[in-house]
Amino acid sequence: MTLLWLIPVLPLLGATVLGLAGPTIGHRASAVIGTASVGIAALIAITIGVQWLQHPPPGEVFNQNLWTWVSLPGFSVNISLYLDPLAMLMTLVITIIGTLIHLFSTEYMQDDPGYSRFFAYLNLFVAAMLLLVLAGDLVILFVGWEGVGVCSYLLVGFWFSDSENGAAAQKSFIVTRIADIAMLAGLLLLSTQLGSLNIQAMLAAASAQWPQGGMLPELAAALLLIGGLGKSAQVPLQTWLPDAMAGPTPVSALIHAATMVTAGVYLVARTHVLFLLAPEVMRAIAIGGALTLLIAALAGLMQSDIKRVLAYSTMSQIGYMFLALGVGAWSAAMFHFLTHAVFKALLFLSAGAISMRLHHEQNIFTMGGLRTRLPAAFWAFLIGAASLAALPLVSAGFFSKEMILGEVWAYPNAALWAAGITGALLTAIYIFRAVFIVFFGPVTTEPSGAYGIRILLPLALLALAALTIGWLETPAFLGGRKIFSGFLTASTGAAGHHPVPVLITLAGCLAPLAGIAIAFALHRSGFWQAQATRSPNPLGRLLRSGCGFDAVYDVLLVRPYLSLVAALRHDPVDLISTGLAGAAIAAHRRLRATQTGRLRRYIAWITAGSVATIAMLLFA
């Protein structure tokens, strides 16, 4: 367990080596260094996890103090790693799924000229993400937080020679940065009011000093929440995520599905003691989550790019996590994080596996009938889709979504539950729409090439996990197992399985089935395929654009900002000084004409001037 510090350091080391020596060591060495650094970190994490289960440390917390970074009177920042069940869960997910995605990338990125650069960025991301989840101090957490933001920017714009990718990278960076300003303000508020940013000390001080529902805890929680909303692509800061799909597909799988975008969920779960003091903010989280999951699910129905379908589904599923957080179901949110990380990584990787065989085609309407041509990708995608749609019993997503819906039902607000169940129905429709369009019907494009073991192994392992990990936590009618929430108890408190009426459970089971049936019916009637050619009506266009947030922000924020920039480009404030100088220069030009060098003309002027002066003296 004392090797904990190696977990974030190893990927950082890998990133350093690859960043400095990358182009000179060749593809093979880059792949080995990149994958091994994360892989060894994963092995250490697993070892620590096994030790943890056998002999949990006192209080189920392991604190590793490395050194003191800042030491001021009354305020100090320690570089310390804080491992508790919550951090353990995140670390395991990041390192294990990270290793699988690295392995996948070694084959997927085979022909890319930026091979070693890719692994350097990816390793750096893993290091920053691990720092984020293991941080014992909010300042260190913020360092990791910004680190993953930078890596996201670098990887979205990985193919920077296309300026559209660069624009997408900038958009993702700027939108999350706007959210981070609020988060930084929240950190400053917490540090000045509570005197410490060490997470546990801060939380203890908050619950000791602040009344529940007071102004300060509401404000601090709201500011932290805005940071989380930006990072996790929730309404109203969600617009960057669909564009972030410009990056390579493994990046979308690791950063924009499995790990980084769930950092907001982690932040809220980590500081949930503070959020419990802020009931209004909690309500806002639940409503925002419900709103996001509906908007994103509707947008998912209209996309034609397979990665954009998945991007909107990510948004929607994180909406579920926020909905769970908002009703105080911390372990349900983290459980959905776990299953989502698995099945969404699986979906993205299989989408990448499909498009790499189709010359990097991502438009689902140019695919078709791939079920027989790419059976491996088909089964992987189907399992992922079933899990995303929460197909009862056989998929992991079912158990976590059922847990969330049950907890939301217990929360006294039927509208939130209705949003959740509608979202579940829509989720099944849009993902199986993609399944039917891509894998069924006539073959439109013949795939080329073949898969190597480095593609198939991650898909197989993730598919296996997507089928089975749901059994860690089962609803009451399936035995009511509580392995997962029991593990998290030390971090998030005991999760009471609220008794849920049978009808509600049944609705949760039937919604995905109904969704799949609707998707199938529309597939049979040719409705989906017609979307490719038919120009959508205004409502369809609105949904396709993700409910027009981009257009609204363009009018409200981007254009005013750009016109302000255009106006300020020529320094209007400087007009005062440059105007004076200009007037002096113009006057100088006029007066210069009188300086002819002709003596007699000067004399004439002097005479005229003298006469005028005398005349004025005499007659004035």
Which position among 372, 607, 612, 614 is part of the footprint of another protein (CB under 8 A)?
607
CB of 591 vs another protein, minimal distance in Å: 10
Structure tokens that stand for 308 in this block: 């954009």
Nearer Cβ to another protein (372/610): 610
599 binds another protein (CB under 8 A): yes
CB of 580 vs another protein, minimal distance in Å: 22
Which position among 55, 569, 590, 600 is part of the footprint of another protein (CB under 8 A)?
600
CB of 594 vs another protein, minimal distance in Å: 9
CB of 179 vs another protein, minimal distance in Å: 59
Nearer Cβ to another protein (75/602): 602
Angle among Cα 415, 418, 421 to the nearest 5 degrees reads 155
Number of residues forming the site for another protein (CB under 8 A) = 10
Instruction: Candidates 25-33, 169-177, 513-521, 599-607: pick the segment binding another protein (CB under 8 A).
Output: 599-607
Own/partner contacts of 544-552, CB < 8 Å, gap of 24 or more, are 544/299, 544/302, 544/303, 545/299, 546/238, 546/239, 546/242, 546/295, 546/296, 546/299, 546/312, 547/295, 547/298, 547/299, 549/235, 549/236, 549/238, 549/239, 550/239
CB of 616 vs another protein, minimal distance in Å: 19
Tokens 């410490």, residue located: 196
Nearer Cβ to another protein (59/597): 597
Instruction: Say how far residue 577 (Cα) sits from the centre of its chain.
Output: 47
The contact pattern for another protein, residues 534-563, with x = CB under 8 A and - = no contact, is ------------------------------
Cα–Cα dist 20/16, whole Å: 6
CB of 561 vs another protein, minimal distance in Å: 45
Cα–Cα dist 225/220, whole Å: 8
CB of 609 vs another protein, minimal distance in Å: 13
Cα–Cα dist 298/307, whole Å: 15
Q: What are the two backbone dihedrals, phi and then psi, of residue 353, each rounded to the nearest 5 degrees? A: -65, -35
Is the bond preceding 236 in cis, omega lying within 30 degrees of 0? Answer: yes
| Amino acid type, 100 | L
Which position among 111, 598, 618, 620 is part of the footprint of another protein (CB under 8 A)?
598
Nearer Cβ to another protein (412/597): 597
Nearer Cβ to another protein (55/600): 600
Structure tokens that stand for 447 in this block: 């795939």
Burial of 212 (0-12, 13-18, 19+ CB in 10 A): exposed
Q: Which of 255, 257, 311 is nearest to 434 (CA)?
A: 311
Nearer Cβ to another protein (71/595): 595
Nearer Cβ to another protein (110/610): 610
CB of 603 vs another protein, minimal distance in Å: 5
CB of 578 vs another protein, minimal distance in Å: 22
Nearer Cβ to another protein (450/617): 617
613 binds another protein (CB under 8 A): no
Residue 361 has a CB neighbour count (10 Å cut-off) of 16
The contact pattern for another protein, residues 563-592, with x = CB under 8 A and - = no contact, is -----------------------------x
Q: Which of 464, 482, 479, 228 is nearest to 335 (CA)?
A: 482
188 binds another protein (CB under 8 A): no
Which position among 603, 612, 614, 615 is part of the footprint of another protein (CB under 8 A)?
603
CB of 551 vs another protein, minimal distance in Å: 56
CB of 593 vs another protein, minimal distance in Å: 9
CB of 599 vs another protein, minimal distance in Å: 5
CB of 619 vs another protein, minimal distance in Å: 18
The CA-atom distances, in angstroms, between 244 and each of 35, 109, 371, 551 are 24, 18, 28, 17
Nearer Cβ to another protein (578/607): 607
Nearer Cβ to another protein (50/604): 604
Tokens 């305020």, residue located: 75
Which position among 597, 617, 618, 619 is part of the footprint of another protein (CB under 8 A)?
597
Structure tokens that stand for 364 in this block: 């689902």
604 binds another protein (CB under 8 A): yes
Question: Are the C-beta atoms of 102 and 34 separated by less than 8 Å?
Answer: yes
DSSP bridge pairs for 329: none
Cα–Cα dist 124/259, whole Å: 14
Instruction: Say how far residue 79 (Cα) sits from the centre of its chain.
Output: 25
Residue 363 is classified by DSSP as B
Instruction: Candidates 350-358, 360-368, 579-587, 595-603: pick the segment binding another protein (CB under 8 A).
Output: 595-603
Based on its alpha-carbon atoms, the radius of gyration of the chain, rounded to whole angstroms, reads: 30
595 binds another protein (CB under 8 A): yes
- The helix/strand/coil state of 72 is strand
Instruction: Candidates 187-195, 267-275, 308-316, 602-610: pick the segment binding another protein (CB under 8 A).
Output: 602-610
Nearer Cβ to another protein (208/585): 585
What lies within 8 Å, CB to CB, of 477 at 6+ separation is 502, 505
Nearer Cβ to another protein (570/592): 592
Nearer Cβ to another protein (163/595): 595
The contact set with another protein (CB under 8 A) reads: 592, 595-600, 603-604, 607
